[in-house]
A and B are shown apart, each in its own frame.
Chain A
Amino acid sequence: MKAATWTGVNEVSVEEVPEPQLLNDHDVILKITQSVTCGSDLHLLGGYIPFMRAGDVLGHEFIGEVVEAGPAVRNRKVGDRVVVAPFAACGNCWYCKQELYSLCDNGNANPGITEGLWGQSPGGCFGYSHAMGGYAGSHAEYMRVPYADVGTFLVPENVSDTRALFASDAASTGWMGADLAGTKPGDVVAVWGAGGVGQMAARAAMLLGAEQVVVLDRVPERLQQVREHVGAEAVDYTTTDVLAELRERTGGRGPDVCIEAVGMEAHGTGVAGVYDQVKQQLRLQTDRPTALREAVLACRKGGSVFSLGVFAAMVDKFPMGALMNKGLTFRGAQVHAQRYIPELLERMARDELVTEHLATHVLPLSEAPRGYQMFKDKTDGCVRAVFTPGS
């Protein structure tokens, strides 16, 4: 079958690879209908997460049709149209029972790598390096999904593939950030990053009752999408003093909730931006936390900061003093998608949550290298490139 693979730093190829097989009794095989690029893939592409092997199949946000099911699968059958959570989670360990699915004890077959890095191993993620389980990803014609009864969800008939696709990761990650950051009616919420996840975090905050939601970015097309499709306010941080702007909008308090949806390759300006770039390129810090620093400094006293953007290891010049002395609550997580997908699909069916606008470029799988290039460079107004392996 055809699949889009990582073949080296900033290199994506389309190759012929073997078809997947059922390896466990709880597995299903999916025929992939749509699979989308995610900002967190760029960290893999750029070599910032050095556990990719040439030939690894990329992709973790996808929708497809069940074509084969293992003998222990109870709730799915051949022909089901399903959207899938990016993290493999068993559904039976203590973490899964707490609905912290991306922390599943039994989802990562390579726990030794992440235990060495972080002290404990989170779950495994499809198409996201050998540190996260070594699973083949979804940019392929077919894919194996373990723990299928836990991680796959039937898509309502009146929800299109392209809308449901984003329930897999962008919408569930965004919703998780707004929810676990404790967004309440009347809150002011600021979101750093107007990519798919940032837009969905903003929309979630609005649906959870936030009084005002402000999204910060520098890409005009993305800021326009925030205004047009999300209904939140959009601020270009390259022409605005972010901290002053947020103070002015909040009576001097700062936002109640600050959601960082940028991650380890944040764009920085001025001396600080150059400093972070140089240190990262010299491997003196692994991650550039520009947006995260700003979120901590912007947040009101006693407020909440949530890190949705992916970080891999160490950051430098983190404003720990502000975090501690302002009494902030700081939290982060990979997506507990199984917790949110059912509710998101219901909201999608009621048109409360629309996502189709994120799919700015729908391409055949053979064009995956071009799709990733546009997505990485943010050219041609690309917000997300969606691949259609079956076409």
Chain B
Amino acid sequence: MPLPKIVARAAGLASEAGGTALKQLQHVRIPGVGQTSVTDDPRTAARRWRAVTVLTDPEQLRTATPAPLAAFGDRLEVRVSPAPGDRGAELAARFRGPVTEEEIGQLRSALREAKQLVEVGEVLRNEPQPHGHRAQTPQGKVLDGMDEQASKEGVL
């Protein structure tokens, strides 16, 4: 294999590793400290309600499902309930049938976007940002992978 191709392949693997590392970060178990996220088996994880609290009247969400969630169509169950203490509405969603990890990531991202559209009116963008020379190091590629997946990962 020619050297540039080997380097490109290695960079691709590092970037992929970043995304994977981010997935693992939320499943880290540190003895005596606990964990930052659930470690459900895939079937249970797929059935768990994923929710954001939106500072709005619950009726607004009941009347019109935010577009990022509506885009999933019948594949998604959506639940809206009042949040306690004047915190607005709890907007929760889960898939009706079996799903992949990628689809759960898409749901996380859709819930976050739905919240932003209701609260702010637009979805925050952070690309492109001005930056200097990006050295093509393995660590850098790992971080690129994390960055790419960050809107789809987390404990949501």
Residues of A near any B CB (own CB < 8 A): 1, 3, 5, 7-8, 13, 15-21, 23-26, 50-57, 72, 88, 90, 92-94, 97, 105-107, 109-113, 115-121, 124, 130, 133-136, 140, 144, 146-147, 314
> CB < 8 Å: which of A57, A107, A130 contacts B124?
A107
Say yes or no: is B120 at the interface (Cβ < 8 Å to chain A). yes
Say yes or no: is B101 at the interface (Cβ < 8 Å to chain A). no
Residues of B near any A CB (own CB < 8 A): 22, 25-26, 28, 30, 33, 36-37, 52-53, 55, 87-88, 108, 112, 115-116, 119-122, 124-135, 137, 139-140, 143-144, 146-147, 149-156
Nearest first, the 7 closest Cβ-Cβ pairs linking A and B are A112-B153, A115-B154, A116-B25, A15-B132, A110-B150, A55-B132, A109-B126
> Contact: B119 with A116, CB < 8 Å?
no
> Contact: B151 with A112, CB < 8 Å?
yes
> Contact: A130 with B147, CB < 8 Å?
yes
Q: With A72-B121, A106-B120 in contact, is A116–B132 under 8 Å at CB? A: no
Q: With A92-B120, A111-B154, A116-B26 in contact, is A105–B130 under 8 Å at CB? A: no
What residues of chain A lie closer than 8 Å to B26, measured between beta carbons?
Answer: 112, 115-116
B91 CB, min distance to chain A CBs, angstroms: 12
Which partner residue on chain A sits nearest B109 by CB separation? A112
Which partner residue on chain B sits nearest A141 by CB separation? B130
> Contact: A7 with B151, CB < 8 Å?
no
> Contact: B130 with A113, CB < 8 Å?
no
> Contact: B25 with A113, CB < 8 Å?
yes
> CB < 8 Å: which of B119, B137, B151 contacts A106?
B119
A4 CB, min distance to chain B CBs, angstroms: 9
B85 CB, min distance to chain A CBs, angstroms: 9
What residues of chain A lie closer than 8 Å to B55, measured between beta carbons?
Answer: 92-94, 97
What residues of chain A lie closer than 8 Å to B133, measured between beta carbons?
Answer: 7, 15, 54-55
A-B contact pairs, 20 of them (CB 8 A): A3-B132, A8-B135, A15-B133, A17-B131, A19-B130, A56-B131, A57-B132, A106-B115, A106-B116, A109-B125, A110-B151, A111-B151, A111-B154, A116-B25, A116-B28, A116-B36, A117-B36, A134-B126, A136-B131, A314-B30
> Contact: A118 with B36, CB < 8 Å?
yes
What residues of chain A lie closer than 8 Å to B144, measured between beta carbons?
Answer: 53
- In the complex, A113→B135 CA distance in Å? 22
> CB < 8 Å: which of B30, B87, B125, B154 contacts A121?
B154
A35 CB, min distance to chain B CBs, angstroms: 14
B87 CB, min distance to chain A CBs, angstroms: 5
